[in-house]
Each structure stands twice: as C-alpha cells, then as structure tokens.
Amino acid sequence: MAPAGTARPLVRLEHLSKHFGEGETRVDALRDVSLDVYPGQVVALLGPSGSGKSTLLNIIGCILDPSSGSMELDGEAVLEDGHWLTHDLRRLRLDKVGFVFQFHNLIPFLDATDNVALVLRLAGVDAAAARTRAIELLDYLEVGHRRSAMPAKLSGGEAQRVAIARALANRPRIILADEPTAALDSKRARIVMDLLRKVAIEQDAAIIAVTHDEKIFDRFDRIFNLRDGLLEAEPQLTTGASE
C-alpha cells in the first residue's frame, strides 16, 4: 500500500455534497465530504441505512450528479464545483472505474469468458483480443478452470470472482464494490476480499467497498464511517489482511 503523502491519490474528493429536493422536503444525503484514497489501499465505507454510502459510491462511479464539490480520479480532474468536466460519463466510467456488486449480475446465457469479454467488446476491443484478456483475468483470479462454465453452474464465490474479472477488464485502477461479500459465507467472503487486496497491491489500484459484513473488517486498510451524510474526520485504521 502506498502511504499517504508519498503517492498521488487515485480518488480525491473535496467538499462533496448531495441533496435531494428543495425547501422543506430537502434531504442532505452527503455533506461536505472530503476523502483521499491512494494506490494499493482497500477502504471500507460503513454506516446505517440512509447514511449516504451508496450515494457516495455512485458519485465516485460517475453515475449520480453531486450538488457541489470537486473530484479527481486517477490524477484527472473530472468534477469541479459540482459540474462534470466531460460530457461523456460513459467513457469516463469505462476508462477509470470498475464495479463489483453484492450479486454478481452475470449474463445468464454467456459463459464466464464471454461475460468478461463483453465489457471489452463494448469498449471497442476486437473479439479475439477481448477473449484473450478475459481468459488472462480469469486465470489471474484463480477461476480459469471455469472459463467455459455458465453462471448457473458457478458457485457463489466463483461467480463473484468472474464479476471481479469483469470489473478489471478495461484495466481501471479504481474498483468500487457495493456489499461484495454479503451473499457469501465467511470462507468465501475472505477469499474474495483477499483477491481484491491482491488486485490493489499488484495492480496499484484503489478499492472502495460499501459493506456491513463484520467478518471482513480485518481485510481493510482504512474504515470510514458515514452518518447522516457526514464522513468521520479520522478513519479507523486496521491491520489489513490479517490471518
């Protein structure tokens, strides 16, 4: 993990806020959130339902418009004073961010390889190169022996590994995970988190995960708490990847 102060953050948020509605119906989902996440870090966002965790993740993923604030992703200013600096948010997401969800959301009529390759095909990569990259990723995540399996034939842990491979397809250095282990038992949850840590370290990436899963708390480098849209001033530090 690159220590803060010696590397440029992959994610930098400055005074980010998001509200819904106006006047008496206004709800402040996020309030003045500032956060840096560095290469090699695995970070958790904790908080009760409605605290703003998913809202924050969706803004970092360039899915939801903030009300104010600025953001840099992988060294590029992408948001300034609440306004996107590009009109092509789809391309921004493809280039900068990979997504992992609680449920793998694999396409049921495509095998593991084609599920991963599809992302590359959507980005304009030719079919042969896309399949080569997909197989490479499945091997990297130790599920290459299941490359021809349909999603219904994969175990929960295997399907989540395929989903992680899909998130890595376009080589993003920022991975956003929304409850990535909630559907897994303790053993498989730890395996998935250890794989995400491997990605962070070996690919110099940043992992940000929303989670309530206490069994994986020891797999994070930093834990932030969101309450009523406010981020804790000081993150809770953990040892990360303990046995």
The confidence band for 183, taking pLDDT boundaries of 50, 70 and 90, is: confident
Percent of the chain with pLDDT over 70: 93
The answer to whether the CB of 223 falls within 8 A of the CB of 235 is yes
Provide the phi-psi class of 75: left if phi over 0, else alpha when psi is between -120 and 50, else beta. left
Residue 198 pLDDT? 86
The confidence band for 239, taking pLDDT boundaries of 50, 70 and 90, is: very low
Q: Above 70 in pLDDT, residue 217?
A: yes
What the chain holds in terms of domains, given with CATH numbers, is 38-63+88-237 (3.40.50.300)
> Which DSSP letter does residue 3 get?
P
Residue 60 φ/ψ, nearest 5 degrees: -60, -35
Residue 83 φ/ψ, nearest 5 degrees: -120, 135
Residue 63 φ/ψ, nearest 5 degrees: -100, -35
Q: What is the pLDDT of residues 27-45, one digit of tens each?
A: 888 999 999 999 999 999 9
Average pLDDT, the chain: 85
Q: Which helix (H) or strand (E) holds 152?
A: none
Which DSSP string corresponds to 47-90?
--TTSSHHHHHHHHTTSS--SEEEEEETTEEEEETTEES-S-HH
- The single residue listed with the structure tokens 């280039």 is 95
The confidence band for 216, taking pLDDT boundaries of 50, 70 and 90, is: confident
The answer to whether the CB of 107 falls within 8 A of the CB of 44 is no
Residue 24 pLDDT? 77
Higher pLDDT, 212 or 89: 89
> Which DSSP letter does residue 193 get?
H
Q: Is 36 exposed, middle or buried (0-12, 13-18, 19+ CB in 10 A)?
A: middle
Residue 42 pLDDT? 93
Higher pLDDT, 197 or 232: 197
Strand partners, 211: none
Among residues 64, 35, 40, which one has the least CA distance to residue 226?
35
Q: Above 80 in pLDDT, residue 218?
A: yes
Cβ neighbours of 86 (radius 10 Å): 13
Q: Above 90 in pLDDT, residue 179?
A: no
Q: Above 80 in pLDDT, residue 236?
A: no
